[in-house]
Structure 1
């Protein structure tokens, strides 16, 4: 289904100072660079990821790569390095998942013994101090009272959470980066937010406001794929919450549906409509992970998802007008290959880092891929220019599909050799071309190994103009995502363009863009 995307307006600064001509030029040049840096992040309205949780405890196999078990996870130098790297990636908000676990603290507690050597700085303080050097903002956790399975209905658990908050407020409420509280009430919004969860949130919020007036409060519930938005009780329950920010888990990584993204786009729009009537900020908690083995299984490791899947999540959240995008798993899933402290799945955490940073730096490939997700990429050719079978004309109709194998806009190619020819009808300068393909391993829909592009003046003799390797990303046990193959720097004055490939399995293509233009 087509989605109408909102374009966010960007304002440019006006130079009001009267300076010498040389100074004005210098200032304008500097201002231009600064504005370019800002707009590069989101010049089509797609928000970058600006926050992530920090997880200090090894919990189970899900942390196999992101937080390995058999090393000292309390080393302050490790956390200082990760904070620096996250800041360099554009992360502004850090959210502590927990400051204690199994009755021991990651800060200098008087309530509990410590996880770390008392001759070293605590990991909590190392993170706070390094974040201050980079002007970041911290949400402090109120847990865990016991462990990741804290039962909020247990009075002893609730009491210990309040005691942790009192200690943390006494220690850090005046710290430069203390921005607010993360309240670990991750109950399900299914079909509505339960009354006990509402009361748990409000009890913690009341304590937070009393201890640290003016600090924000954040929760991150799950279950928007199971929510009953049409039930009047849904909005009624949300309206009871006294929290400042709700960062909804988008559940794409948890694979709530076989094809999560199409429904997610509608869910974000429904939530935006509700939040327009609430005095609560709406943030997206985009899941960057997929699963090494089974989904939603504590014996299965979390590993990086392909960046095109995440970009589609960013587009969906941005189009609905979320206030900010953060992610539960950024640290330890998307990892700088130059880091001295390599976390994350080897090779592929670095690959996603490179892809994400290329998107932030507005490389042509990702600009075009993003515009196609937003349905803002115009094709320079028309369906009438496709030669051969009638069904191939859909490859030039300007209509893109969604991450769903049943979407009728996919043109399907079986195993074997395939080619198609575009007749430009006159000699035309072809600068670039792009294919969009579905990757869905569960149904045997994959990439060709290589794609060949030929050009011709007369439609008889063809010259090889480019060969591109199709993207390869092995973490594909559960997800459907859309890949783009860009043929750039062609600069060919030709009439005919031919695409050829060998399909090892089914190949689904929705559009072949020739000289695409971003609207």
Structure 2
């Protein structure tokens, strides 16, 4: 809302009565308290068939043209960063490679399709360097020599095949051991080894991690030293509301403490990974559904004062523009889209 329209609206509301005046002022305050959602995780297939039942079958059949349209939809909604969750899973890749067999999809090279689309629509991609090996055993994946060699070979291949895309902004390291007071040394070594390879391959590329166990951080010198040791540009902590580990009312305090620690360490920048889903049934054993917009707005309000940027997990499956030609997900995803547009967290329909 520009200044002229704002003043006109205020005048009209005043004439209509104090109730409408209060409603308008409350709406303006609410919007000013929320940072916009600037990015989302992105995937070709969700790693859990149970969780992804409402969108996996659709995405599996997407053509290159449909991937292009979906990336455009994300850009139109205000997304400027996409984080590719994985380039391989269950022993198969999502791009043509000699390292693994390839998943059968409706598009021969979905990675090329989305990067080419991102080039056109001004989106920056963090490209994953996983999952190679059994993704449910992250500690093993970080230490296994065979897996580590395969991961580094894949990074070299990805940089060679796709590094020319201006949208290839950086790397995302998907293996996480979680925070249990502090990071495991194994995790720090995995991150720093990956970043060393990334620096060789694409010196200007940025790096991102998204730890879980956010509520378990033990604030103090030990954690501060670990932040200084981690060679990564951005840490987008999971708010863990969707997985029901943290309550919305706890989130602000957690991120305020993280803000203080990152300010002291003065190394990686603090982002948020806001979970915009809920479970249809039991946590981790049922389909993901879009969370109520009211809850998500509260999540955004909680982290906005403390983080540089807000990313979400995730637009795919959880959010769809009304009338989208590339609709993928639960029908309630339209309601979440509309609610976030009204709150000023997403751009509206075009």
- How many angstroms does 1:341 deviate by? 2.3
Q: Secondary structure at the match of 2:342?
A: helix
**Is residue 2:34 matched to residue 1:50?**
no
Alignment of 1:383-422 (within 5 A): none
Structure 1 residues 64-83: aligned runs within 5 Å = 64-68=53-57, 72-73=60-61, 75-83=63-71
**1:204 CA drift (Å):** 0.4
Where structure 2 has 5 or more consecutive residues not aligned to the other structure, the ranges are 4-27
**For the structure 1 residues 361 and 198, does the alpha-carbon distance in structure 2 shift closer, same or farther, using more than 3 Å as the test?**
closer
**C-alpha contact (below 8 Å) 2:115/2:125 kept by paired residues:** yes
Contact 1:49 1:325 in 2 (8 A): yes
Shift of 1:47: 0.7
Q: Bigger relative contact order, structure 1 or 2, given CA contacts below 8 A and separation 6+?
A: 2
Greater strand fraction, Structure 1 or Structure 2: 1
Partner residue, 1:122? 109
Q: Find out whether 1:235 has 2:224 as its counterpart.
A: yes
Aligned to 1:358: 342
1:147 Cα deviation from its structure 2 partner: 4.4
Q: Give 1:272's aligned residue.
A: 259
Contact preservation (8 Å) 2:88, 2:130: yes
Match of 2:162 in 1: 172
Q: 2:145 aligns with which of 137, 152, 155?
A: 155
Distance across 2 between alignment mates of 1:279 and 1:237 = 10
- d(CA) in 2 for partners of 1:58, 1:269: 31
RMSD: 2.3
Shift of 1:163: 1.0
Per-residue CA deviation, residues 270-305 of structure 1 (Å, 9 max, x unaligned), is 11011112221110000000111012x2x2111111
Q: Which residue of 2 aligns with 1:398?
A: none
Instruction: Find the counterpart in structure 1 of residue 295 from structure 2.
Output: 309
CA contact (8 A) 1:49 1:91 kept: yes
- Structure 1: how far apart are the matches of 2:35 and 2:325? 29
Question: For residue 110 of structure 1, what is the aligned residue in structure 2?
Answer: 98
Which one of the candidate residues 259, 263, 268 is aligned to 2:250?
A: 263
Is the alpha carbon distance of 1:74 and 1:255 closer, same or farther for their aligned partners in structure 2, counting shifts above 3 Å? Answer: same
Q: Which residue is 1:319 aligned to?
A: 305
Q: Distance in 1 between matches of 2:174 and 2:346?
A: 35
Q: Map of 1:474-513 to 2, 5 A cutoff? A: none
Say yes or no: does 1:210 pair with 2:200. yes
Q: CA deviation at 1:131?
A: 0.9
Structure 1 counterpart SS, 2:197: helix
1:300 is matched with 286
Contact 1:54 1:95 in 2 (8 A): yes
- Check if 1:291 corresponds to 2:279: yes
| Inter-partner Cα distance in structure 2 for 1:352 and 1:195 | 39
Q: Tell me which structure has the larger Cα radius of gyration.
A: 1
Aligned counterparts, 1:5-24, within 5 A: none
Whether the aligned pair in 1 keeps the contact of 2:42 and 2:84 (CA below 8 Å) is yes
| SS in structure 2 at match of 1:336 | coil
The change in CA–CA distance for 1:220 and 1:268 in structure 2 (over 3 A counts) is same
Tell me, yes or no, if structure 1 residue 333 matches structure 2 residue 322.
Answer: no
The TM-score with structure 1 as length reference comes to 0.58
